[in-house]
Amino acid sequence: MANHGINVVGYWVPNEDPAWKDTFIYIVAHLSREEAKKNWDAVHTDPLFRPYVEAAKPLMDKVGKVFRVDEVYMRPTDFSPMQ
């Protein structure tokens, strides 16, 4: 992902709560919303990235073959140490 300008901040999975056992959270950083679109488009059209997409499908695949992924764009608060 770094080859396409996607800066991975980190990956998380739940520690204990079984209600969240199928949850995988990751945060990536982009310079802007436009850069995010450009970067994601580049990753998803990169043939070298296909194996990672296929490996992630079991984490995302739900009933009816619908991928249930929440995509949320955020910005830091004024008091956040990360600006």
Q: What are 43-56's pLDDT values in tens digits?
A: 888 999 889 878 87
Better-scored residue on pLDDT, 48 or 63: 48
Q: What is the reported pLDDT for 71? A: 81
- What is the rounded CA–CA span in Å between residue 14 and residue 20? 6
What sign results for the dihedral spanned by CA atoms 60, 10, 13, 76?
Answer: negative
70, part of any domain: no
80, part of any domain: no
For the residues 75-79, what does the mean pLDDT come to? 91
User: Which residues span the domain enclosing 51?
Assistant: 2-65
Total number of domains in the chain: 1
